[in-house]
Amino acid sequence: MAKTTDGCLAKEAAAHIGRNTDTVQGVDGSPKEIDRQSGLLVKWALKNHASLTWAYFEGLNKIGDSTAEHVVYYRRSDNRAIKHTHAGTFGVTPGPKGEQHGATPLFYLRRLLLMNRVFDSIIRFEGIFFAASMLIGKTDGLYPCIVVSQPWHAPGSVTNPHPSISEIKEFMEAVGFTEKPGSYFGWFKREEKVKLSVVDARRDNFIKTDDGVIPIDLVISEEPQESPPTAI
Cα–Cα distances in Å, from 154 out to 15, 35, 88, 99, 112?
33, 36, 30, 30, 21
Each residue of 161-188: pLDDT tens digit?
Answer: 999 999 999 999 999 999 999 899 999 9
Give residue 8's pLDDT.
Answer: 86
Mean local confidence (pLDDT), 204-211: 97
Q: Give the whole-angstrom CA distance, residue 27 versus residue 34.
A: 10
CB 60 within 8 A of CB 129: no
CB-based burial label for 4 (10 Å; 0-12, 13-18, 19+): middle
Give residue 5's pLDDT.
Answer: 47
In this model, does residue 130 exceed pLDDT 90? yes
Q: Answer left, alpha or beta for residue 62, where phi above 0 means left and psi between -120 and 50 means alpha.
A: beta
- Which string of b and e fits 30-68 if b means at least 16 CB within 10 Å? eeebbebbbebbbebbeeeebbbeeebbeebeebeeeee
Mean local confidence (pLDDT), 187-211: 94
CB 75 within 8 A of CB 60: yes
What rounded mean pLDDT belongs to the chain? 89
pTM (two decimals) = 0.90
Is 139 or 17 the better-scoring residue by pLDDT?
17
Residue type at 185 in one-letter notation:
F
Domain layout of the chain by residue ranges: 8-151, 165-224
Mean local confidence (pLDDT), 145-171: 97
Mean local confidence (pLDDT), 2-30: 74
Q: Give the whole-angstrom CA distance, residue 46 versus residue 14.
A: 15
Give residue 3's pLDDT.
Answer: 47
Each residue of 23-68: pLDDT tens digit?
Answer: 554 445 788 999 999 999 999 999 999 999 999 999 999 998 888 8
